[in-house]
Amino acid sequence: MTTLIQNGTVLNADSTTRADVLIDGETILAVAANIPAANHQVIDATNLLVMPGGIDVHTHLDMPFGGTVSADDYFTGTRAAAVGGTTTVIDFALQARGHTMREALEIWRAKAAGKACIDYSLHMAVTDLGPNNQNLAELDQMVAEGIPSFKLFMAYPSVLMIDDGLMFKVMERAAALDALCLIHAENGSVIDIVVSEFLARGETAPHFHALSRSPLAEAEATHRAIAIAEMAGASVYIVHLSNADALLALHHARQKGLRALAETCPQYLVLSLEDQMPGRSWDEAKYVFTPPLREKKNQAPLWQALASGELSVVSTDHCPFRFSDQKSLGKEDFSKIPNGGPGIENRLQILWHYGVNSGILTPQQFVALASAEPARIFGMPTKGAIAPGKDADILLWDPAADYTITAATQSMATDYNMFEGWQVRGNAKHVFSRGLQVVADAKFIGNPNHGRFLKRQANAGGFA
């Protein structure tokens, strides 16, 4: 089947043109002015921007954590992503200690089977290389399976944290494989002590979660990860960078010409300790995630780093838990509140409204941060642009649409929204995933058998 998207403005990271887009099956066949309607199904894109579908490189669907499981599975999670204009997600498979990466891969592929409404890929979170690092070669196997990115945790000592030696070992091998190392950069050993000190003083409310995880704990780990990556010759990507101190560590590394990249997330750009977590109520558990919300003064430097290109990507770290029966696990103790917030559906609305409408970012920079750079850095050459030969992952964006964000109408499976009641201008109108229309007039019309596992290429984060 052929579909013609007519009369729109085609927006890529490096160009803006008035053009029609012809889709043949799953692929973009042509991008040109005045393509005849012929026998094609025609979609009118008058006053719409025709851009590559969003790519969210940081999600946690159906993930066990803190005695429960994240509230969105692959169906509800990818459905919400699509409604928000995202057509590819990269989720995290978590290797359990004492088990292989292969097992983790099979577990996560099974979670996604028959449930993904859009294409998905996986990063592998490495927690264990076995006695004497005897399982190091599993990294090679993961790259061969199309998983050329490894997540390493410097936080959560009793569950996920690895020591610096293991980090170095993984980075050395990753460098040889042109794989990318993703780092959760927080000094977990120090944080755990601070947490126990708060609890011992009876400071158990959600507010203290935020206070227990200093910006310096993140900045120190950011610097350490980048330094160890430099020693190993590896490319490194800092996930969910949240504050100005950590940004400084990244800035120094990039000035030195190191292969260091980072993302931030909408929550750090528009939510703050002062506004959302002032220490008044249990409601603040809705904003318990790591790194925590920071003081407002950190927001401007993050926006500035997006505008300058120092931060490469905006992802969500979508890790949803219901307020009613999941966040409540930590009612008496903030350290037992499941860590994470919902955001997969609202990423592009927030980035457009507060980034583009406010004049901080150009529309082309928006596409770079939301789609093109994720595709390039994470080795997905068929994604991230509107051009002949690319997958027909297409977002028709209505920059004039007024939208009120609310849990009452959202597609995510949580009972709250972090941006409840916020009014934004700019929203996804129609969305195509490999040629199949999955959203029409902002309503989901896709299906859970459509999304495919996407094998990615090892390219050292675009530096190879």
Least distance to Zn ion from the beta carbon of 344, Å? Answer: 12
218 binds Zn ion (CB under 5 A): no
CA dist 74 → 45, 117, 325 (Å): 30, 8, 20
Of the candidate spans 73-81, 225-233, 317-325, 391-399, the one that interacts with Zn ion by CB under 5 A turns out to be 317-325
CB of 251 to Zn ion, least distance (A): 23
Q: Which two tokens stand for residue 444?
A: 């989901």
Binding part of the chain for Zn ion, among 162-170, 293-301, 315-323, 448-456 by CB under 5 A, reads 315-323
Q: Which stretch binds Zn ion (CB under 5 A): 79-87, 118-126, 143-151, 311-319?
A: 311-319
Amino acid 458 reads A
Q: Which residue is nearest to Zn ion (CB)?
A: 317
Of the two residues 310 and 317, which places its CB atom closer to Zn ion in the complex? 317
Beta strands in 270-343 (DSSP E): 313-314
Q: Which of 186, 317, 345, 391 binds Zn ion (CB under 5 A)?
A: 317
Handedness of CA 302, 308, 310, 312 (dihedral sign): positive
Pick the stretch among 3-11, 160-168, 244-252, 314-322 that binds Zn ion (CB under 5 A): 314-322
* Cβ proximity to Zn ion, 317 vs 391, nearer residue: 317
User: Taking the complex as a whole, how short is the minimal distance between the CB of residue 330 and Zn ion, in angstroms?
Assistant: 18
* Shortest separation between residue 70's beta carbon and Zn ion, angstroms: 10
Per-residue contact track with Zn ion, 271 to 310, x per CB under 5 A?
----------------------------------------
Q: Shortest approach of Zn ion to residue 287 CB, angstroms?
A: 15
CB of 9 to Zn ion, least distance (A): 34
Indicate the residue among 138 and 317 with the shorter CB distance to Zn ion. Answer: 317
**Neighbour count for residue 266 (Cβ, 10 Å):** 23
Minimum separation from the CB atom of position 268 to Zn ion (A): 13
CB of 60 to Zn ion, least distance (A): 6
**Tokens 């449930």 sit on residue:** 115
Q: Which region among 65-73, 313-321, 435-443, 451-459 touches Zn ion (by CB under 5 A)?
A: 313-321
Cα–Cα distance, 207 to 426 (Å, whole number): 32
Cβ closest to Zn ion, residue 169 vs residue 240: 240
- In 131-187, which residue ranges form alpha helices assigned H by DSSP? 138-144, 164-177
Give strand pairing partners of 31: 21
- In whole angstroms, give the CA distance from residue 256 to residue 336: 40
Kindly tell me which of 43 and 262 has the beta carbon lying closer to Zn ion.
262
Q: How far is the CB of 104 from Zn ion (least distance, A)?
A: 15
Peptide bond into 291 cis (omega under 30): yes
Q: Closest approach of Cβ 38 to Zn ion, in Å?
A: 46
Secondary structure of residue 299 in the 3-state scheme: helix
Q: Which residue, 122 or 394, has its beta carbon nearer to Zn ion?
A: 122
Q: How far apart are CA 73 and CA 64, in angstroms?
A: 11
Pick the piece of the chain touching Zn ion (CB under 5 A) from 79-87, 101-109, 168-176, 316-324: 316-324
Quick one: 160 or 249, whose CB is closer to Zn ion? 160
Using the rule CB under 5 A, give the single segment among 20-28, 158-166, 301-309, 312-320 that binds Zn ion. 312-320
Asked whether the CA dihedral 46, 52, 58, 60 is positive or negative, the reply is positive
C-beta of residue 185 within 8 angstroms of C-beta of residue 221? yes
Residues near Zn ion (CB under 5 A), total: 1
Task: Kindly write down the DSSP assignment for every residue of 359-424, as one continuous string.
Answer: TSS-HHHHHIIIIIHHHHHTT-TTSSS-STTSB--EEEEEEEEEEE--TTT-SSSSS--TTTT-EE
The C-alpha angle 253, 256, 262, rounded to 5 degrees, equals 30
Give the whole-angstrom CA distance, residue 323 versus residue 383. 35
Neighbours of 46 (CB within 10 A): 8
Specify the DSSP class assigned to residue 42: E
Nearest to Zn ion of 151, 429 (CB atom):
151
Interface residue list for Zn ion (CB under 5 A): 317
